[in-house]
Amino acid sequence: MNISEQYRSSMEYREILRILQRSSATSGNLVWQSSVLGKNIVPIQYFEIDFIAREVVIKFDDETFSIDPDSPLYIKLSYRDTVFKISDFRKNTGALHFTFPELVKTQELRKNPRITFKREQEKFVTLKSSLNFGAKDLGSELKVRAFDISETGLGLIISEQNRSFLKNNRILWITGLQNDFFEAPVVAEVIYMNTDVDPGFQIKKQKILKVGLKISGNFPEDIFSHFIQ
């Protein structure tokens, strides 16, 4: 295993919207386009989120900078150094209009080191629906593979068949790591869910998802230590 900081892809609508909202209140956002002449970098004066049209409206100084309407846009936001590409946009006087991006690259900002497991390691986490916690129905319980962990978060590999379990249970209980079970569950929130999965974790003829959980509270220290060994 290794400890690393990296960018990750997100297709989670709520996370992308949150990134856009927070970036709209910050400075240092920019647009760029690439051509044979090099990179044309255009500062963003400010941008707005049109919730009715589900669009982003970017304002820039069109007297100083120019935008080629026939070339893709690359947007870099100061919040978490988020980057995404826009191929379809409208250009008006001093403004660019485009729909919410479906995919962004955003920086991991975990306060605690993240431990990433090797492909050959098989680490499992047991989840249970917080709505049905305490029920004896094992159908509300799910055992899934982990690809990384920190003291405040978990990265999981989950079958596409279990997407509905996650969509219906944004708040989950973690009840165990590997074969060790907690005396009291640890609450977790689904932060993102996308298909950006390392090929080494792919299973033949199965569609799988990469899922990120944010932990509230703490894992039992002895079980956590045993899990990361």
Q: Across the chain, what does the average pLDDT equal?
A: 84
Is the pLDDT reported for residue 5 higher than 60? no
Q: Give the start-end residues of each E strand in 78-117.
A: 82-86, 90-92, 95-99, 104-107, 115-116
Residues 63 and 157 in one domain: no
Task: For residue 210, name the pLDDT band (cuts at 50, 70, 90).
Answer: confident
For residue 111, the 8-state DSSP code is S
E strand or H helix at 22: helix 13-23
Is the pLDDT reported for residue 25 higher than 60? yes
Residues 96 and 186 in one domain: no
For residue 69, the 8-state DSSP code is T
Residues 87 and 132 in one domain: no
- Give dist(CA 153, CA 141) in Å, integer: 19
Task: For residue 204, name the pLDDT band (cuts at 50, 70, 90).
Answer: low
- Non-local (6+) Cβ contacts of 161 within 8 A are none
- Give dist(CA 171, CA 1) in Å, integer: 28
Residues 66 and 139 in one domain: no
Quote the domain boundaries for residue 153. 115-228
The values of phi and psi at residue 79, to 5°, are -70, 115
Residues 67 and 160 in one domain: no
Select from 52, 76, 107 the last residue of a domain: 107
Q: How many other CB atoms sit within 10 Å of the CB of residue 10? A: 25
Task: For residue 2, name the pLDDT band (cuts at 50, 70, 90).
Answer: very low
Q: What is the pLDDT of residues 48-84, one digit of tens each?
A: 999 888 899 999 999 999 999 999 999 999 888 899 9
Select from 65, 91, 107 the last residue of a domain: 107
Residues 212 and 181 in one domain: yes
Q: Which CATH number characterizes residue 64's domain?
A: 2.30.110.10
Domains identified in the chain, total number:
2
Is the pLDDT reported for residue 108 higher than 80? no
Select from 54, 77, 107 the last residue of a domain: 107
Indicate the pTM of the whole model.
0.54
Residues 91 and 173 in one domain: no
